């Protein structure tokens, strides 16, 4: 068994492909069921963001090909994915997941949002019983590495975020965005952060629309704005200057924009679609004075300001590289974990039974019982720790012999 990763990202495929392969929350139960029922996969985590779809799994070598094809098969994708879907295993997979979690593989170098997204993905997998001993320990170690990267480097200090790019785009279109009005569709964290940056840059009014109205009210209160229902979008599109969409399973059509434009007097409208799958019809860009950008378009806006992070990224990669041997050492013996846990549980069961039998035959005080408890726990701990070390040494030696 080993760590394997399969996926697709902004580096290998455009948004037109990524949106077809993304996993929404409603897909997760079925996706996890199929993965765990498949041959060779014992644990897995699905990460689906606007820039990547990846599955991290503990599986057998013989199952790699079917694992690699899972994403395309699940979504019935007819596209040619041969050069778009990647598969990494072993040490390469460990380096990759550490880089992803640290924001070093992101479109926006060093961005921190991916760390929260990975933690959320891990929690979702845990809830569905897809995470057991191996990934639980591995993700714990990876999260610690990310925190060290953040503490030891300035990788996240220079402002090159997607929300920063949105402000720059707004300034390109309007030159001065003070006093402009913005509408946000959806309750995604990136959308809220984008609106916050726009407010800091001078936006005067915020309108919030969401599928769940009470969530829209909650976000509107945070920004001192107005909450509306989805069916009110056309009316309010007549009044706003910027539209930020992070909503899923909703499409704003060309027809809706043209209807709103009948009352806009041809004023410019900037639309930034950061949802994957996209929620804005690409044809909308054909409407006069409508400036439409999606998540991939933002890449060019932030690239020029990422040079300052390159040096910090090298430091971050070196920190990760120092941790790879210990992660690989853990993975080399990870298949022993269920056996070792079973042995520890059995040892503790025997210890307790033995103490109870001994105490029944002796007349001892509570303090004396506590002393016996601590002493026997320490004895069992030392024996098991020594045994585990020897087990792991034997496992590593066996792997080495097999590879020769």
From 268, 265, 262, select the one nearest 285 (Cα to Cα).
268
Distance CA 259, CA 270 (A): 16
Q: Write out the two tokens for 266.
A: 């041809």
- Cβ atoms of 227 and 219 within 8 Å: the answer is yes
Phi (first) and psi of residue 376, to 5 degrees = -70, -35
Residue 327 to residues 3, 93, 315, 335, 384: CA-CA distances in angstroms? 11, 11, 19, 14, 22
DSSP per position, 128-155: TT---HHHHHHHHHHHHHHHHHHHH--T
Whole-angstrom CA distances from 138 to 5, 93, 209, 379, 397 are: 14, 12, 39, 28, 22
What one-character DSSP code corresponds to residue 30? H
CB 222 within 8 A of CB 196: no
DSSP 230: G
In a 13 Å sphere around the CA of 181, the CA atoms on its Cβ side amount to 13
Which pairing describes strands 41-48 and 52-59: parallel, antiparallel, or unpaired? antiparallel
Retrieve residue 348's tokens. 């503790």
Q: Measure the CA–CA gap between 351 and 348, rounded to whole angstroms.
A: 5
Active site residues: 50
What Cα–Cα distance (Å) separates residue 157 from each residue in 128, 154, 247, 312, 313?
36, 5, 28, 10, 12
Helix and strand element counts for the chain (H, E): 16, 10
Classify strands 41-48 and 181-185 as parallel, antiparallel or unpaired: unpaired
Question: In what order do the strands lie in the sheet containing 205-209?
Answer: 226-228, 205-209, 181-185, 242-245, 269-273, 290-294
């Amino acid at each position: 068994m080993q760590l394997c990763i399969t996926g697709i990202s902004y580096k290998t495929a455009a948004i037109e492909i990524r949106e077809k392969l993304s996993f929404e929350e409603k897909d997760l139960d079925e996706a996890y069921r199929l993965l765990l029922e498949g041959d060779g996969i014992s644990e897995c985590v699905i990460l689906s963001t606007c820039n990547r779809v990846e599955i991290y799994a503990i599986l057998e070598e013989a199952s790699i090909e079917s694992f690699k094809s899972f994403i395309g098969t699940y979504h019935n994708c007819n596209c040619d994915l041969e050069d778009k879907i990647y598969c990494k295993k072993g040490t390469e997979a460990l380096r990759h997941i550490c880089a992803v979690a640290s924001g070093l593989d992101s479109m926006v170098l060093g961005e921190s949002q991916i760390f929260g997204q990975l933690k959320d993905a891990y929690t979702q997998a845990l809830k569905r019983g897809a995470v057991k001993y191996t990934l639980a320990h591995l993700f714990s170690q990876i999260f610690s590495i990310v925190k060290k990267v953040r503490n030891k480097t300035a990788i996240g200090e220079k402002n090159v975020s997607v929300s920063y790019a949105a402000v720059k785009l707004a300034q390109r279109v309007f030159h001065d965005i003070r006093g402009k009005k913005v509408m946000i569709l959806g309750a995604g964290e990136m959308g809220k952060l984008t609106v916050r940056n726009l407010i800091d840059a001078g936006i005067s009014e915020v309108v919030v629309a969401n599928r769940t109205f009470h969530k829209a009210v909650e976000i509107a209160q945070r920004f001192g704005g107005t909450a509306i229902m989805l069916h009110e979008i056309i009316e309010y599109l007549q009044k706003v200057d910027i539209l930020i969409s992070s909503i899923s399973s909703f499409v704003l059509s060309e027809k809706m924009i043209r209807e709103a434009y009948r009352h806009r007097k041809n004023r410019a409208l900037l639309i930034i679609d950061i949802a994957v799958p996209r929620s804005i019809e690409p044809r909308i860009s054909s409407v006069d004075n409508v400036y439409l950008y999606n998540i991939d378009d933002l890449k060019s806006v932030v690239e020029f300001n990422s040079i300052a992070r390159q040096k910090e990224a090298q430091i971050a990669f070196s920190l990760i590289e120092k941790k790879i041997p210990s992660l690989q050492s853990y993975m080399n013996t990870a298949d022993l974990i269920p056996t070792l846990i079973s042995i520890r549980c059995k040892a503790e069961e025997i210890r307790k039974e033995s103490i109870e039998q001994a105490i029944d035959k002796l007349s001892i005080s509570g303090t004396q019982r506590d002393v016996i408890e601590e002493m026997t726990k320490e004895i069992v701990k030392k024996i098991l720790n020594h045994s585990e070390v020897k087990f792991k040494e034997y496992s590593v030696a066996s792997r080495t012999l097999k590879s020769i």
